[in-house]
Structure 1
Amino acid sequence: MAGVTQPVRVLIVDDDALVRAGLTMMLDGAPGIAVVGEASDGDQAQAAADKHAPDVVLMDLRMPRVDGITATRRLRARPRPPEVIVLTTFDSDDNILHALRAGASGFLLKDTPPARIAEAVRQVAAGEPILSPRITRRLMDRAAVQAGAYAQAKTTLAGLTPRERDVVVAIGQGSNNAEIAKALDMTLATVKTHVSRVLMKLGLDNRTQIALLAHDAGLA
């Protein structure tokens, strides 16, 4: 019938039966949304997606057999993949980034207000990725820290000679003194001298700190 919009079909994947029941009750009463199925672990997500053809999957992260990141990656590899919103209590930076790299279109915390979860389902189904404000701030802060470390590292290394810089890059790549000497056509004694000068110029204590600085500067 013209003008009739199909509801967004939602699959809930969570190992907590109470969470699944609560989400089902909440979302089934939201306009334009229909919960079409549930799965209690990531290993059931594929079969449930085959059976119910969801538009959006609400995915928990920590489940006993197959975790949410692995399940998300598998679902997103399908010929007609559903959108995935990770809904979890675990908001570490690694969890956020792994979920987004696995193909999740959204990342929300379980304390997100019900109306906001429903709106996120509709937004993601319409092709608009969604992150909770707290998650967005975390990612912005992380990016700012990384950008600051990069700028500081570049400034710190600016006073090195080209040869000293070559040694820093090699250390950042994990090379030992003998490997550096061979790659840069130096004597072992010359490499040791360069390393000592780099440590002194930069005020560092050891090679590990040189390697970290090389990574921060994007040289290794």
Structure 2
Amino acid sequence: MHRTRVLIVDDHALFAEALAARLGREPDLVILPVAADARRALALTATERPDVAVLDMALGAESGLDVLDLLRERHPDVRVVMLTASTDLGAMVDAIRRGAVGWLPKTESAEHVARVVRSAAREGGWIPPELLGEVLRRLRADAPEPNGDARLLAALTPREREVLQCMVDGLGRAEIAERLGLSANTVRTHTQNLLAKLETHSALEAITLAMRAGMRPDR
């Protein structure tokens, strides 16, 4: 069984330790030592090589968005999920734009956090469903160069474009594999390749770019 390595970055010690203890009971998750600030988060990421970082939006005087930027710059393979007490939609959109793959309120259950961590590790993510439409609308509105999006799409192979269309249709990796008659590993490879070609960090960013360029769900 593959075990996902998880780094929790939160300056609220009681909350962080309680979450770490609860997630540590999941047999497929390895919970690394908790980091309370940016310096510790970056040091642990370099030595412990987490697959997923669960990052508080506010770390005392430090901004979680700044830590997100540093993690994305120095460790681009780490998938970052924001965990926050804030309901600021603008901050959520900013975090997704900067490369976060998920956004969770601190009121979510540990069981749901574990599900989102697993999804993030599989190149998925999570945005609260009731906010997803508005998040996508704001991300699409950010597009200053629609022709640039079309140019990036044109660089995809036909198979990569098929995989992207499936993503726009809302399919997960297993469903894409079934629709296209591919293995899950092949779908993973195509997904990684198309994200790189589209210069995006997450499936949500890729879907947003595709929709800005005119791709629509095939229903």
- Residue from 72, 77, 80 that aligns with 1:84: 80
Q: Per-residue deviation at 1:145? A: 10
Aligned partner of 2:36 in structure 1 is 40
Displacement of 1:37 in angstroms is: 2.1
Q: 1:63 aligns with which of 56, 59, 64?
A: 59
Alignment of 1:1-220 (within 5 A): 5-136=1-132, 138-139=134-135
CA distance in 1, matches of 2:77, 2:44: 13
Bigger radius of gyration among the two = 1
Aligned-CA RMSD value? 2.2
State the shift of 1:27 in Å.
Answer: 0.5
CA distance in 1, matches of 2:136, 2:71: 28
Structure 2: which amino acid aligns with 1:39? A
Question: What is the alpha-carbon distance in structure 1 between the residues aligned to residue 122 and residue 69 of structure 2?
Answer: 20
Structure 1 segments of 4+ aligned residues over 4 angstroms from their partners: 140-146
TM-score (norm 1): 0.59
Aligned residues of 1:37 and 1:52 also touching (Cα < 8 A): no
In 2, Cα distance between equivalents of 1:34 and 1:22: 15
SS at match of 2:41: helix
For 1:57, what is the secondary structure of its paired residue?
Answer: strand
Distance in 2 (alpha carbons) for counterparts of 1:79 and 1:106:
17
Task: Supply the distance in 2 between the matched residues of 1:139 and 1:80 (Cα, whole angstroms).
Answer: 23
* Sequence identity (%): 28
What is the CA–CA distance in structure 2 between the aligned matches of 1:68 and 1:123, rounded to whole Å? 21
**Structure 2 gap segments, 5+ residues each:** 143-219
Supply the distance in 1 between the matched residues of 2:18 and 2:122 (Cα, whole angstroms): 24
SS at match of 1:117: helix
2:55 is matched by which residue type in structure 1?
A: M
Distance 1:138 1:22, change over 3 A: farther
Give unmatched runs, 5+ long, in structure 1.
Answer: 147-220
Counterparts of 2:45 and 2:75, CA distance in 1: 12
How far did residue 141 of structure 1 move? Answer: 7.4
The secondary structure found in structure 1 opposite 2:58 is coil
Quickly say closer, same or farther: Cα 1:112–1:141, change in 2 above 3 A: farther
